[in-house]
Amino acid sequence: MAVLVVGGGLAGSEAAWQLARLGIEVVLIDMKPNKFSLAHKEPFFAELVCSNSFRSEDLTSGVGLLKWEMRQLESLVLEAADKTKVPAGKALAVDRTLFSKYITKQLETSPLIQIKTYELKSLDDPFLQEFDSVILAVGPLPSEELAKELKVLSGGELYFYDAIAPIVSADSIDFSKVFWASRYNPEEKDYLNIPLTKEQYFAFIEELKNAKKVQPKEFEKELHFEGCLPIEEMVERGDLTLAFGPLKPVGLIDPNTGKQPFAVVQLRPENREKTAFNLVGFQTKLTYPEQKRVFRMLPGLEQAEFLRLGSIHRNTFVNAPRVLNHDLSLKQKPFIYLAGQITGVEGYVESAACGLLVGLIVGYKMKNQMFPFPPPETAFGALLKHLQTEQKRFQPSNIHFGLFPAIKKKLRKKERKKAYALRAQQYFNEWLNRYFI
């Protein structure tokens, strides 16, 4: 019997792919292209609605380590990212259109994956009864009807606000006022950099403070994910917050002056042709007119053409430790498994990893085999443990070494990260060789 996967985002695409790899038939449903969420625009699967970056490739970072583990398990998302990447220094960034098209083609051409356009509005939908197992990978923006049911299951609504950054056309940038460089390595030309003097920086900060913002609805308490704060939210924490955050100049030398600027705005290519650039760290809830006015204050962007303006939307997630079993199935409906951001993981890589893991869990179940859960010392295991551990106030989380079992030996920060990574790789290889090879 086939497994139903609901949602063609990163988690759903990855789950469907892993099931097919195990020889399991899959029915993948998505409401696109008949209907789009507030954040989605394209008809393809695995659409990237925020940044085009999958973050650091460094193995001594949690996300770099998680990607390494995903590649060992033949992740479709990482395969697509590697084949469609664009220059981004030490980060993995992709041409978002080529990336989504690649995944769509792989899913559409798989003989074991049947794709249907269908919007699931209820967990009691009779359509679900046709399947022994259902993977719910509806992302952070499920339909209003489905969100209400998840709210009941969670004992109250859980959400946070997510903001996305603007994209500008390369043709509208004044290249005489910017320079190409990567942080710490001027020979690499992966980022376009806007240098700011002290006066320019504080003038920009002042306008950010006074600019009009999109207001949440009266009944909604505004909660932001700490790792994706709107730029104006950071400014409220202090005038120098941006200078020590996304606008930090460290490692960048302006070739026109031979000096390090007071602050630097980095622009990352959105595609291989470098015809569009994302304003790195410029997630925003400013109104559209204010975005154009304030961001055009930046040198080189005076005549900027915005291909996409920043926006803010609400993300929904469940209280995973309370409502999910150890295998990420719903306690009240054990044949339904949750995957991706809806579970309480945060980030592209983490969502895809969660989908990959759930795909394997359900695949093993369909084969009447017990799935060997990864040890907590691995990135997969640490991320899963986050979803299983009761907290006073459960919140979404990126992968980071704080989720791993502590290394008790006293080490310097850099050595400690390396120790976490080496331990994780050792445990992961032992797990992989024992159960999968």
Say if pTM beats, i.e. exceeds, 0.95.
no
Predicted confidence at residue 219, as pLDDT, reads 34
Domain-wise residue ranges, the chain: 3-158+317-435, 163-314
**CA proximity to 423, closest of 398, 411, 406, 410:** 406
Identify any residues that bridge with 191 across adjacent strands, giving them in sequence order.
Answer: 181
Domains 3-158+317-435 and 163-314 agree in fold: no
Binding site residue list for FAD: 7-12
- Residue 117: pLDDT band (50, 70, 90) is very high
Confidence of residue 224 (pLDDT cuts 50, 70, 90): very low
Distance (Å, whole) CA 295 – CA 282: 10
Q: How far apart are CA 240 and CA 195, in angstroms?
A: 16
Q: For strands 85-86 and 179-181, give the pairing.
A: unpaired
Binding site feature residues: 7-12
Options 3.60.21.10, 3.30.2290.10, 3.50.50.60, 3.40.630.40; CATH for 3-158+317-435 is 3.50.50.60
Task: Kindly report the CATH class assigned to 163-314.
Answer: mainly beta
Residue 304 clears pLDDT 70, i.e. is over it: yes
Residue 221 has pLDDT above 50, yes or no: no
| Mean pLDDT of all residues in 332-347 | 92
Cα 236 to Cα 32, 120, 231, 419: the distances in Å are: 38, 40, 9, 37
pLDDT digits (tens, 9 = 90+) for 150-208: 777 766 656 666 667 888 989 899 999 999 999 877 678 899 999 999 999 999 999 99
Q: What is the pLDDT of residue 39?
A: 63
Name the 3-class secondary structure at 199: helix
Measured in whole angstroms, the distance separating CA 7 from the mean position of its chain's CA atoms is 16
Locate 107 and state its tokens.
């899913």
pLDDT in tens, 372-423: 999 999 999 999 999 998 877 777 788 988 889 888 888 887 898 899 999 9
